[in-house]
Structure 1
Amino acid sequence: MTLPYTDRAYLVTGAASGIGLACAQHLAAGGAARLVLADRDAAALARLDLGCTLDLLPGDVADEALWDEAAAVLTGIDGAVVNAGVAGAGAIGSLSFAEWRRILSVNLDGAFLTLRAVLRAMEGRAGAIVAVASAAGIKAEPGVAAYGASKAGLIQLVKVAAKEGAPQRLRVNAIAPAGVETPVWDAVPMFAERAAAIGRDAAFAELAALATPLGRYAKPEEVAAQVGFLLSDAAALVTGTVLVSDGGYLL
């Protein structure tokens, strides 16, 4: 049986941990011949062994120079997972501009630069791109203005990219998870404090019980499988959409 990504090449950003790592593992297990992996954690990238050819791009996705230098290695890719992101929290009235810019820089500027590089590399070729957005970009909650705005902007960016890519049969979609059990939560003070008090697993369970009708958060591997569907030929007519995978959070 032919695997879904046989002989294909993909870029994955934020590939050293969390959803990005799970996506890279999913693509490699599905037959991908080559993966271009980007992350600012160069040491973690260097430790990866996924059973296929790996081209590593250590650096900040919001650094335009990274993508200028990556043009050659992106040649021949069939798609991308635009995943790199950071979290943060704070009410608008108390949020510093530096913190606002930190979050928007990675989550939106970095996504734009990644998309631009991929679209240039794939000019004239069919393929698929998936951006990892968030339910926070759809539903308003106190304290997540910067993160929510960055993900809402990313959703609109995906829709525009889908229209621009459609003439060449290049599909662009987004996935919008709610809570996912990834290290990004460790940067959220409320979670970090609770995890220190009762343990990470218990803190995730507590949060999920409060916010998610299905009563649990997603595992990175579950999100990766959904991203994989959107990248695959099984989603050949799906473009410009947002796959909400939130356990009922938006209900």
Structure 2
Amino acid sequence: MPSALITGGSSGIGLAIARMLGAEGYSLTLAGRQLDRLETARDGLDAAIVVANVSSEDDCARVVDEHVATHGGLDVLVNSAGVGIAGTLADTSVKAWDLQLAVNLRGAFLVTQAALPHLRSTKGYVINLASIAGTLPTPGLGAYGASKAALIALTRTLDREEADAGVRATAICPAFVDTQMAAWTGIPGEEMIAPEDCAEVVRALLRLSPYARIPVVVIERAGESV
């Protein structure tokens, strides 16, 4: 049975992808910072859970080790853990800058690096949840956008570097998605992209032949670019 590890798997896009992968027959590990939210997310899923904070280097290695110990290998890694703090660049604190880079970029790098030996064995797939804010100027989300632009660059390079090993990587870059992270916008949830839309993109990517490589997918919100 193929297996998938989803960081940030306790809610939002990560959980929607986990549910889709479970329905597709993958055995799962959900990783997140809060045990109670992971336990709630696991309802209805046959999934292992791991409490981990991807801003911790040790946790990034441990979550991969625990997944492989439980499932025997790794076929799909979904780096969905993320944090966004709104604010102009002039007003962004160093703490807020560092946190977004640590979680959104450094964490994805560390988990991916730990996972690569296993993904090479299975010719697996890395899905990185980036953002449309990493592809265009987004006032008020400068630090977040910078972290996601860097994640897109990391993904594109990873996809090229690991091509000979059969590992593929895609950065999914949605506009505002109906999740708790986007609640601050005031946009009605029904006017945002659904988390399940992102999951359907992942489903389509995993069904491609191994000769098709799509390093970046941008999902625009109807009527607007963010």
TM-score by length of structure 2 reads 0.90
Distance in 1 between the 2:201 and 2:113 partners? 23
Match of residue 155 from structure 1 = 152
How far off its partner does 1:158 sit? Answer: 0.4
Could you tell me which residue of structure 1 aligns to residue 10 of structure 2? Answer: 16
* 1:204 corresponds to 2:203: no
Q: Could you tell me how far 1:223 is from its partner in structure 2?
A: 1.0
Contiguous gaps of at least 5 residues in structure 2: none
Please, which of 200, 204, 229 is the counterpart of residue 204 of structure 2? Answer: 229
Alignment partner, residue 30 of structure 2? 37
Distance 1:91 1:235, change over 3 A: farther
Report deviation, 1:233. Answer: 3.1
Pair 163,105 (structure 1): closer, same or farther in 2 beyond 3 Å: same
Q: What is the CA distance between 1:250 and its match in structure 2? A: 4.5
Q: Aligned partners of 1:181, 1:147: CA distance in 2, in Å?
A: 17
**Once superposed, what is the RMSD of the aligned Cα atoms?**
1.9
Alpha-carbon shift at residue 50 of structure 1 (Å): 3.6
Match of 2:22 in 1: 28
Does the 8 Å contact 1:158/1:240 carry over to 2? no
1:159–1:173 CA contact under 8 A, matched in 2: yes
Secondary structure, counterpart of 1:35 in structure 2: strand
Question: How has the CA–CA distance of structure 1 residues 235 and 178 changed in structure 2, closer, same or farther, with 3 Å as cutoff?
Answer: farther
Please say if residues 55 and 73 of structure 1, whose CA atoms lie closer than 8 Å, have aligned partners that are also in contact: no
What amino acid does structure 2 have at the position aligned with 1:22?
A: A
Is 1:246 aligned with 2:220?
A: yes
Deviation at 1:240, TM superposition (A): 5.1
Whole-Å Cα distance in 1 between the matches of residues 201 and 214 of structure 2?
15
**Is the partner of 2:188 in helix, strand or coil?**
helix
Q: Is the 8 A contact 2:173 2:219 kept in 1?
A: yes
CA drift at 1:67: 2.5
The 3-state SS of whatever aligns with 2:107 is: helix
Work out whether residues 89 and 143 of structure 1, in 8 Å CA contact, stay in contact via their aligned partners in 2: yes
- Indicate which of 66, 73, 77 corresponds to 1:73: 66
Q: CA deviation at 1:114?
A: 1.6
Letter in structure 1 aligned against 2:139: P
Matched positions, count: 220
CA distance in 1, matches of 2:10, 2:198: 16
Aligned residue runs from structure 1 range 111-150, under 5 A: 111-150=108-147
1:61 is aligned to 2:35? no
TM-superposed CA distance for 1:235, in Å, is 5.0
Gaps of 5+ in 1: 1-6, 195-202, 209-215
Deviations 1:168-222 (A, max 9, x none): 1111111110011001124x4xx3xx4xxxxxxxx326xx9xxxxxxx3211111
Q: Distance in 2 between matches of 1:74 and 1:26?
A: 18
* Equivalent pair of 2:124/2:166 in contact (CA under 8 Å): yes
Question: Which is greater in Rg?
Answer: 1
Which residue, out of 157, 167, 192, partners 1:217?
192
Query: Is this contact kept in 1: 2:32–2:53, CA < 8 A?
Result: yes
Change (3 A) 1:182 1:168: same
Q: 2:93: which partner in 1?
A: 96
